[in-house]
Structure formats: structure tokens, C-alpha cells
Amino acid sequence: MFRLQGFSGGFGPALVFGWQKPIEAERPVANSGVSPPLSEAYQSTETDWPEFRGPNHDGVVRGIEYSETWLDLELRWRIPIGEGWSSFCVVGPMAFTQWQEYESQVTVCLRAASGVEVWCNEDKVRFDEAMGGRRATRSPPVALRNFRPLLAQSRS
């Protein structure tokens, strides 16, 4: 009658009714067929966030001014995505992250300004574990130094 969905942060079991659909079944599959070409030059800026915890691995954002009020924040875009604990890396016009959909882990490049998908790469691997849950965990790092752009991701 019940199904173990995983464990909560307090290590309590999270049970759902057996007839309830898994949440992921309601999420759309990433659209791998659409990849509009990028016309912008691939320029890195001071406010890029090229890897986990930022360019200096210290979690500090430099080169921005903070608003003193939250009231002027405006939602620019919202899109459905798969499951994951990954954060985003942002370089120039592009944002990268990784999530899990059904039997695949997907690395995705989105336009940061619009949320439109530029490309995605699907690996037929799946992480599903009671304590950690269903997820793809990493923030894909982006390296722009020394030579041409490089995006690296680890997979299960």
C-alpha cells in the first residue's frame, strides 16, 4: 500500500501511497531537438560563475551591486526541469546545469537571459538511492582559461 520514496533530512522515511505516480513522471523530457545557434561571442565577464562555489572556490560574488530592497526583483523566466541537486554555472550568455530524467542524466546549456535550451547531452545512467534520492548532483564546471572553452561534467 505504501512505497518508500526516500529519507527526509531528519532521516525519517518518506512514504507515499503505492498508487501515487512518481513526481518525475510528470516532468517533460528535455527538448534535445532544439538548438538555436549562438550568435554572441563567447565572452567571459567578471561576474561569471564558472564552477561550483565560483571562480575562486570561495563562494563570493564579485563585481556586482546589491539592491537594498527585494521589491524590484522581477521573474524573468521559469521552466520545468528534471530532478537534481546541481546548481548552475554561468559564463557569458549561457547557463549550465545537470538533472535527471527517467533513465537518463542530462547536462543542459540554457540561455541565461531567456531560459531557452541551446543544447543538452543525455547519458543513459540513473542515480536512485534511498538516502540520497533520485538526482544528478554536480554543477558542471566551465573552464575558459588557457585554451578554448571546455565544459566538463561527471556522471554516475
Partner 1 sequence: MGIDAHHPESGKPLWNHAFTTSPKICVAQPGIVDGSSILLSLGYGLGSILIDVEEKDGTWTAKERWNCRRLTLI
Binding site for partner 1 (CB under 8 A): 35, 38, 42, 50-52, 57, 91, 94, 96, 107, 109, 118-121, 123, 127, 129, 131-132, 137-156
Cβ distance to partner 1 smaller for residue 104 or 107: 107
Distance CA 129, CA 147 (A): 38
Cβ distance to partner 1 smaller for residue 16 or 38: 38
Cβ distance to partner 1 smaller for residue 2 or 42: 42
Q: Hey, is 15 helix, strand or coil?
A: strand
Cell numbers 545512467: residue: 125
In the complex, minimum distance from the CB of residue 117 to partner 1, in angstroms, rounded to a whole number:
10
Give yes or no for a contact between 113 and 93, defined as CB atoms under 8 angstroms apart.
yes
Residues 6+ apart with CB under 8 A from 138: 52, 86, 98, 153, 154
